[in-house]
Amino acid sequence: MAEHNLWSVAFPTLAEAQISDLARCASATPRLFRDGQTLFAVGDRDFPFFIVKSGEVEIVDHSGDVPKTLVVHAQGSFTGDVSFLTGNPAVVSGVARGDCDVFEISGDALRRSLNQCPAVSDIILQAFIARRQLLRESADFIGLRVIGSRYSADTFRVRDFLAKNRVLFTWVDVETDPQVDQLLKQFGVTEADTPVIACSSMLLLRNPSNRDLAERIGIRHPLEQTVYDLVVVGGGLAGLAAAVYGASEGLRTVVLERTAPGGQAGSSMRIENYLGFPTGLTGSELADRAILQANKFGARLSVPTPVLRLEFEKTYSILHLDDGESVTAKCLLIATGADYRRLGVEGCERLEGKGVYYAATVAEAQLSRGAQVVIVGGGNSAGQAAVFLAQYASQVLLVIRGDSLDKNMSSYLARRIEQTGNIEVLCNTTVRRIQGDGYLTAVGIANGKTGEERTVETPAVFSFIGAVPRTDWLPPEIVRDAEGFIQTGAALAESPHWTARRQPFLLETSRPGVFAAGDVRSGSVKRVASAVGEGSMAVQFVHEYLKEV
């Protein structure tokens, strides 16, 4: 029943009046496609949105060994999914079956119309989201193929990058997949070449960097050579909230994200205490919706785009990027968040990505199936990871320094862990060493009270032991506290770097016009709702500052 409802949401039929309103609002162009003509193809960028007036449009998946029909759009149907609004390449093709009359609408025109026609907007956006969900859940849709070993750090890096950027792909594990020899031969590569990325029968890349991968598959968007009203550095939930509010209120807005939008929260497999979602949602679902909203209002997201340093020129902020280019901002919001602190024990660094992980998503869960795994940390991130991984692992050992979970973990989460039969909490315990030759095989742990030491055989250890702010790229003008988090607000009025006559705004840093929000800010509340709230609130202060200059 649920699948049927999802299908009906994904493929609605617009009424004649709705089609007329949308066509008029978007200045649609009537087009005729003859039988067999392609309306759009896999890999196309900036492809049009089509409403079918008569005839049929077949949607074809070319990612497998043979083309497959996914759906046929008839009169009143429309093409597209989330790729249309995010500006990413098409993942399927559209072909006319019989002579086909359509309305053609450009991406910019559709974005404007979605903001002006809320009734039709809801139908289209819900359909886009549902279509991507159907593809993601389909056992037949292959998308990109990533061929590589579970024991390869580069294979893990590529899979992690694609997953965090919501790219549809299938992983072929050279250690276990029975078809791997045939595939390697088909693409003319050897196991030594892996990881390799392929699409259909075409080999795309061999062990690419994240940036090369993003450019080859078309998810990295070029930046405009302009002065932006608001540049947001960091695409976590604080940064995405600022992008939504900034763009929706008419600010020319861009988000520069070094890895993938969503941040730490985007890797959370279950958030149950976010207002308005009583049944919970994943961080990925929340980030997906935020990304779609930001793009709907015209914000630009650039990934992966690391910022190397920040300089100031009069009242402008100049951000220098890793490719030698720069971006100029009237206002800057720093929302770079924080990285999980490394374990820093013997053997840890050389096994990162080969059994030592700092997130617990579906990618890592696949490696944990049926095994005993270790999680280090006593906060909500560690608790959410434990509950999630318990669905895959035979046993989860949750290692904490303190006497109980209640000190740093939400009560509802601590109780759930206590009630989960295959989670064991090891109090007063620390990890002393990481063992493995090429990949993780065991961890050594010790009880601080009893002095007892033991070795736990495991293929995976997950670390959630605090965070380090991403502020190493900032100049001295941006004042930070002793731990590196950015200071904001009225207390900075006495800073020698503060040059304005007024008091700093609540989220303003020691430099006028530069703001900070989310986990990177000193004194912030480390919660999803707080990050979203601060990102939204920062835009109000941006407007106040822009009135001054």
**Predicted local confidence at residue 200, as pLDDT:** 85
Give a yes or no: residue 479 inside a domain.
no
Is residue 106 located within the same domain as residue 178?
no
Is residue 8 located within the same domain as residue 130?
yes
Is residue 7 located within the same domain as residue 79?
yes
**Predicted local confidence at residue 31, as pLDDT:** 97
Rounded Cα gap, residues 378 and 526, in angstroms? 14
First to last CA, the chain: 57
How does pLDDT run across 191-237, given as a tens digit for each residue? 999 999 999 889 999 999 999 999 999 999 889 889 999 999 999 99
Residue 116, classed as helix, strand or coil, is: helix
| Cβ proximity of 354 and 330 under 8 Å | no
Give a yes or no: residue 472 inside a domain.
no
End-of-domain residue from the set 217, 240, 262: 217
Task: Give the H/E segment covering residue 175.
Answer: none
The residues that bridge with 255 in the sheet, in sequence order, are 232, 301
**Predicted local confidence at residue 4, as pLDDT:** 63
CATH of the domain at 37: 2.60.120.10
**Predicted local confidence at residue 489, as pLDDT:** 96
Is residue 328 located within the same domain as residue 364?
no
Q: Are strands 461-463 and 356-357 parallel, antiparallel or unpaired?
A: parallel
Report CA-CA distances (Å) from 388 to 340, 369, 424, 538: 18, 12, 14, 33
Give a yes or no: residue 524 inside a domain.
yes
Cβ burial of 289 (10 Å; 0-12, 13-18, 19+) is middle
**Predicted local confidence at residue 317, as pLDDT:** 98
Low-confidence spans in the chain with pLDDT less than 70: 1-4
Give a yes or no: residue 262 inside a domain.
yes
**Predicted local confidence at residue 3, as pLDDT:** 59
Give a yes or no: residue 507 inside a domain.
no
Give a yes or no: residue 547 inside a domain.
no
Cβ neighbour number for residue 155 with a 10 Å cutoff? 24
End-of-domain residue from the set 168, 192, 217: 217
How does pLDDT run across 60-77, given as a tens digit for each residue? 999 988 999 999 999 999
Is residue 6 located within the same domain as residue 128?
yes
Is residue 37 located within the same domain as residue 121?
yes
Is residue 186 located within the same domain as residue 252?
no
Instruction: Look at the alpha carbons of 400, 405, 409, 412 in this order and tell me if their dihedral is positive or negative.
Output: positive
CATH of the domain at 448: 3.50.50.60
Give a yes or no: residue 468 inside a domain.
no
Is residue 79 located within the same domain as residue 184?
no
Nearest-5° Cα angle at 11, 7 to 15 = 135
Greatest alpha-carbon pair distance for the chain in Å reads: 79
Nearest-5° Cα angle at 290, 259 to 171 = 50
End-of-domain residue from the set 217, 242, 269: 217
CA dihedral 184, 188, 190, 191 (to 10 degrees): -40
Is residue 85 located within the same domain as residue 182?
no
Q: Domain range holding 157?
A: 144-217
Is residue 430 located within the same domain as residue 524?
no
Rounded Cα gap, residues 178 and 199, in angstroms? 19
Give a yes or no: residue 503 inside a domain.
no
CATH of the domain at 209: 3.40.30.10
| Cβ proximity of 510 and 479 under 8 Å | yes
Q: Which amino acid is at 140?
A: D
Is residue 105 located within the same domain as residue 130?
yes
| pTM exceeds 0.85 for this model | yes
Is residue 122 located within the same domain as residue 148?
no
For the chain, what is the domain count? 4
How does pLDDT run across 422-463, given as a tens digit for each residue? 999 999 999 999 999 999 999 999 999 999 999 999 999 999
